């Protein structure tokens, strides 16, 4: 099973899906990296509503706000994050703590650090059900940490040791809707990676309400270059420990990116109040559906691969029944390829 990048690559001319005789993929698909430039035209069309102006003396401070559990977060970003989750209804955010990081990549490492036992002499096992996001094992292992290490496929986990299970839903790379899979007597903690739990990718079936939930600006709106992610955290001590990780690893996240993310998320929410604007998620969903239909057409003509099918569900946000259109998808081999 392999991931298929359906994110836009028009600027690079890589990942070009070219078929002859209806069956042969002549250029390899890049299975590892995708740039979410798909939504760029929407933000261009929004014109000066999205413009951010930064003066020479703005945001010079490190930004410690002793009143906030996460001392680096810009209050405007915090408000924008609350507003978008209230609009979409994909996560319970009341009475929770918001922690901002340099993308969700930094945040999932912060969550592993925060959830690991402080008194253990052995690293805790970080696990996820296969197929999992290819960055998890590398991120868990590259520093050979004594606090956490990669423990493999959650479906095969049978150690009598504590673990942290990452639940990615919709999953990267295969787009499946997931819950935890480990049933063990050992102490387990969960991190929910909701990078793709937005209406353009999947029906919003419920308000998620877990201990640690990760979201990222790059998948929500497509602004990957900003490197902004956020965690919604139930327990204050976990939020404080995550903040401590972010302080030690980079003294927080860029203020320019934070203020820009606040602006873009605000314009996104406004698009549901201004009748003249095209609502973002409807635009995004339309685009994703179109891409997937085109891709499906190509795959249907193929003698080698088929695309995975995703079940339909009722989306409480769009008020319609639809299927998941993952940022990346799964293909299966019809016959052996030499």
Q: Which residues bind its own copies (CB under 8 A)?
A: 11, 33, 35-37, 39-41, 43-44, 46-47, 49-57, 59-64, 101-103, 105-106, 109, 113, 135, 138-139, 142-147, 218, 222-228, 245, 248-257, 260, 264, 267
Smallest separation (angstroms) from its own copies to the CB of 47: 7
Cβ neighbours of 119 (radius 10 Å): 4
Nearer to its own copies, 172 or 331 (CB): 172
Secondary structure (3-state) at 22? coil
Give the sign of the dihedral formed by CA 189, CA 74, CA 200, CA 131: negative
Smallest distance from the beta carbon of 120 to its own copies, in angstroms?
10
Q: How many residues does the chain have?
A: 338
- Whichever of 138 and 293 has its CB closer to its own copies, that residue is 138
For 245, phi then psi, to 5°, come to: -60, -45
Cβ proximity to its own copies, 22 vs 146, nearer residue:
146
Residues in contact with 57: Cβ distance below 8 Å, sequence separation at least 6, in sequence order: none
DSSP 192-233: EE-TT-STTTS---S-B--SEEEEEHHHHTS-GGG-EEEEEE
Residues 6 or more apart whose CB falls under 8 angstroms from that of 331 comprise 1, 2, 4, 299, 305, 306, 307, 308
Beta carbon nearer to its own copies, 109 or 172: 109
Judged by beta carbon, residue 66 or residue 311, the one nearer its own copies is: 66
Q: State the residue for tokens 């891709």.
A: 295
Cβ at position 114, least distance to its own copies in Å: 12
Nearer residue to its own copies within complex by CB, 203 or 252: 252
Is the CB of 176 or the CB of 257 nearer to its own copies? 257
Closest approach of its own copies to the CB of residue 294, in Å:
22
Closest CB 61 distance from its own copies, rounded Å: 5
Smallest gap from Cβ 82 to its own copies, in A, equals 21
Q: Shortest gap between Cβ of 149 and its own copies (angstroms)?
A: 9
- Write down the least CB distance from residue 2 to its own copies, Å: 20
Give the chain's radius of gyration (CA, Å): 20
Q: What's the farthest any 2 CA atoms get from each other in the chain? A: 64
Whether 74 and 98 have beta carbons less than 8 Å apart is answered as no
Distance CA 227, CA 211 (A): 23
Quick one: 44 or 183, whose CB is closer to its own copies?
Answer: 44
Report helix angle 103-115 to 236-250, nearest 10: 120
């Amino acid at each position: 099973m392999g991931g298929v990048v359906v994110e836009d690559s028009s600027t690079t001319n890589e990942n070009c899906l070219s078929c002859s005789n209806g069956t042969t993929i002549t250029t390899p698909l890049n299975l590892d990296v995708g740039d979410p430039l798909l939504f760029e035209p929407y933000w261009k069309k929004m014109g000066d509503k999205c413009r951010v102006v930064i003066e020479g003396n703005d945001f010079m401070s490190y930004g410690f706000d002793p009143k906030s559990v996460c001392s680096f977060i810009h209050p405007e970003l915090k408000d924008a994050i609350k507003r978008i989750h209230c609009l979409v209804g994909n996560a319970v955010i009341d009475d929770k703590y918001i922690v901002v990081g340099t993308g969700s990549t930094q945040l999932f490492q912060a969550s592993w650090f925060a959830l690991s036992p402080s008194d253990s002499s052995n690293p805790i096992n970080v696990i996820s059900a296969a197929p999992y996001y290819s960055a998890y094992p590398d991120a868990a292992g590259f520093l050979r940490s004594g606090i956490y290490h990669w423990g493999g496929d959650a479906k095969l986990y049978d150690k009598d040791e504590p673990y942290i299970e990452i639940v990615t839903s919709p999953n990267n790379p295969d787009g499946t809707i997931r819950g935890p899979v480990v049933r063990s007597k050992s102490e387990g903690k969960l991190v929910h990676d909701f990078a793709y739990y937005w209406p353009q990718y999947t029906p919003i079936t419920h308000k998620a309400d877990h201990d640690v939930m990760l979201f990222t600006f790059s998948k929500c709106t497509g602004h990957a270059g900003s490197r902004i992610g956020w965690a919604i955290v139930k327990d204050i001590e976990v939020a404080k420990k995550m903040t401590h990780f972010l302080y030690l690893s980079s003294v927080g996240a860029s203020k320019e990116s934070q203020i820009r993310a606040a602006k873009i998320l605000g314009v996104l929410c406004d698009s549901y109040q201004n009748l003249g604007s095209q609502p973002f998620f409807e635009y995004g969903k339309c685009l994703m559906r179109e891409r997937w239909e085109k891709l499906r057409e190509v795959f249907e003509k193929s003698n080698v691969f088929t695309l995975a099918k995703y079940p339909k569900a009722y989306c409480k946000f769009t008020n319609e029944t639809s299927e998941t259109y993952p940022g990346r998808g799964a293909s299966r081999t019809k016959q052996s390829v030499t």
